[in-house]
Amino acid sequence: MRIDKDVCISCGECVRYCPMNAIKMDDVAIIDQDECVDCGVCHKAKVCPVDCIIYEEAPWPRILRAEFSNPTHSHASTGLPGRGTEEVKTNEVTGRLKPGWLAMAVEFGRPSTGARFRDVEKVAMALAGVGVKFEPVNPVTFLMADKSTGKMRPEVLNEKFLSGILECVFPREKGPEVLKTLQKVTREIDTVCSVDMMDLVEPDESIPMEKMLNQLGVFHRINGKTNVGFGRPKYKGGNQ
Amino acid sequence: MTHTLHRMGTKESLSGDYIFLMMPAFGINNADSAPKLRKFFEIALRHKPVNMGDAKRSNMHVLSTLELMDNIDKKGTVVHAVYDNEEAAARALKDLKDADLGLSLVVSGIFENVKKQCQKVGIHRHGVNYSLGIWGKTEKLPPENVLEITTMCGHGLVSAALVSSLAEDVKAGRKNAESAAKEMAKMCDCGVFNPVRAARLVAALAAA
């Protein structure tokens, strides 16, 4: 995003809309290009009385900022809007998560801080070290130079974005090791991440992951998401 | 499935926050999904949602509901509806089950309540997604009473600065809590932001 300094009237209306606090007032409003994630909120807010906020599609690798920050901008790698991954929202159809396995998503930069791919790499490499499998149909995985080590492509490391999801699966018994590794490595990153874990519901309505989280003393919220299983055709080999 | 996950708040506050998401599995059942997604909107509207939206378009505080329904991408998209009470959510769930659209549905809310709603209408849940909270450099976060509002847009498009500034506007009498909440809701493209809950929270923030 940029502001046409010849048109800006310095009203400052756009400043509070920026999720990254990247707009500062000088003689006119100025966008810090290193902090800006090209989410488009300043433009979309339609508060500029002289319409001087401009979005121009950026070249590679900066284009990643819009892809990972503007949810209406589909990802080139998956063709999907938002964060570009179905995760387990359609799991009863896709079978991404299979019985006996757990899925985990580490969402960088959320809430309210933004993140850079160098932090993603740090966590991805630590998790790869304990043998998780990264989700192949995911824009973050697509940016890895080596999916077996979690190493990202070097040219993307400094790109900043609002939220990007590192997704992986692992056998249920590996859960404690994965969580301990994540606890350790997230102490070393320069941003926050929202973490979630998914499990399938057993025929008796129990959720095996809950017992593991409680035994490990890992916090989980009272609210979250339930896939009610309406999708068809059902994945063969699923739990229902 | 995270953009309606990680919503923060007390049990009392979250009891007025239910989000429905429907989407096809791309490459499997998306080809003929547009009329089914339109049907989702029609059913959702019967139960008076406080927000509705399409991830590729915008929400009902920016576009009319007709515009949302008439322009669904033929290749498929992700649609949402938000309810501010459990009764409306339960009725919407039952109607969607009866409609049998064949697309995946995810319901976000307090787990024990969603489980009860599912049992009532004979649904065996496929899977659950738990939020394990925020990890990393949490000292960078805004205050919790601001996060309770901003986390209702899972893509992070409602800025903490906007929430704080609108709370100041409410405190000074320049805006009422409802119009402040609607201004925030416009930023959340997907339409998963709950403006009714946000109005209560911003009023409390202004009074703090």
Q: Is residue B6 part of a domain?
A: no
CA distances from A160 to A32, A118, B175, B200, B207 (A): 12, 9, 34, 33, 35
Out of A93, A199, A238, name the one closest to residue B28 (CB). Answer: A93
Sign of CA pseudo-dihedral B124, A138, A75, B141 = positive
CA nearest to A78 within chain B: B26
The percentage of chain B sitting over the pLDDT mark of 70, rounded to a whole number, equals: 99
Q: Is a pLDDT exceeding 70 seen at residue B86?
A: yes
> How far, CA to CA in Å, does A36 sit from each of A47, A51, A77, A83, B139?
18, 18, 22, 18, 21
Across A4-8, A83-87, B185-189, least confident range: A83-87
Contact with chain B for residue A178, Cβ under 8 A: no
A207 closest CB neighbour out of B100, B123, B128: B128
CA separation, residue A77 to residues A80, A81, A143, B171, B190 (Å): 8, 11, 9, 46, 21
Residue A86's identity, in one-letter code, is E
pLDDT per residue as tens digits for the range B113-170: 999 999 999 999 999 999 999 999 999 999 999 999 999 999 999 999 999 999 999 9
Query: DSSP per residue over A55-85, as a string?
Result: --PPPTTTHHHHHTT-TTS--TTT--STTS-
Given B120, B154, B182, the domain boundary residue is B120
Classify residue B158 by its DSSP letter.
S
Residue B177 falls within a domain, yes or no?
Answer: yes
Residues B115 and B69 in one domain: yes
> How many independent structural domains does chain B possess?
2
Q: pLDDT digit string (tens) for B137-147?
A: 999 999 999 99
Region B102-106: mean pLDDT is: 98
Backbone angles phi, psi at B5, to 5 degrees: -100, 175
Q: What is the pTM of this model?
A: 0.95
pLDDT in tens, A122-160: 999 999 999 999 999 899 999 999 999 999 999 999 999
Residue B187 covered by a domain: yes
pLDDT at residue A77, rounded to an integer = 77
Q: Please give the pLDDT value at position A204.
A: 96
Residue-wise pLDDT for A80-120, tens only, equals 766 767 778 999 999 989 999 999 999 999 998 999 999 99
The answer to whether residue B2 is domain-embedded is no
pLDDT above 70 (res A239): no
Residue A22 in this model has a pLDDT that exceeds 50: yes
Q: What is the CATH number of the domain that holds B115?
A: 3.30.70
Whether B94 and B169 share a structural domain: no
In chain A, what are the domain boundaries?
1-56, 71-216
In CATH, what number does A1-56 get? 3.30.70.20
Q: Which CATH number fits domain A71-216: 3.30.70.20, 3.30.70.260, 3.65.10.10, 3.40.50.80?
A: 3.30.70.260
Instruction: Return the residue matching tokens 């998790």.
Output: A127
Examine the fold and report which residue of B120, B150, B176 is the final residue of a domain before the chain moves on.
Answer: B120
Last residue of a domain, one of B60, B87, B120: B120
Same domain, B20 and B110: yes
Flag whether residue A98 sits within 8 Å of chain B, measured between CB atoms: no
pLDDT at A240 over 50: no
Nearest of A189, A68, A175 to residue A125 by alpha carbon: A189
B3: in domain: no
Q: Is residue B71 part of a domain?
A: yes
ipTM here: 0.96
* pLDDT(A238) > 60: no
B53 belongs to a structural domain: yes
Does B151 sit within 8 Å of A86, measured CB to CB?
no
Query: What range does the domain containing B157 cover?
Result: 138-207
Inform me whether the C-beta atom of residue A15 falls under 8 Å from chain B C-beta atoms.
yes
Q: Please tell me the distance in Å from A119's CA to the nearest CA on chain B.
A: 10
Same fold, A1-56 and A71-216: yes
pLDDT-based confidence at residue A237 (cuts at 50, 70, 90): low
Closest partner residue to B134 among A83, A92, A194, by Cβ? A194
Residue B130 lies inside a defined structural domain of this protein: no
d(CA B7, CA A203): 28
Residues 59-88 of A with CB under 8 A from B: 69, 71-72, 74, 78-83, 86-88
Question: What was the pLDDT predicted at A84?
Answer: 67
Element (DSSP H or E) covering residue B107: strand B104-110
- Interchain contact, A226 vs B96, CB within 8 Å: no
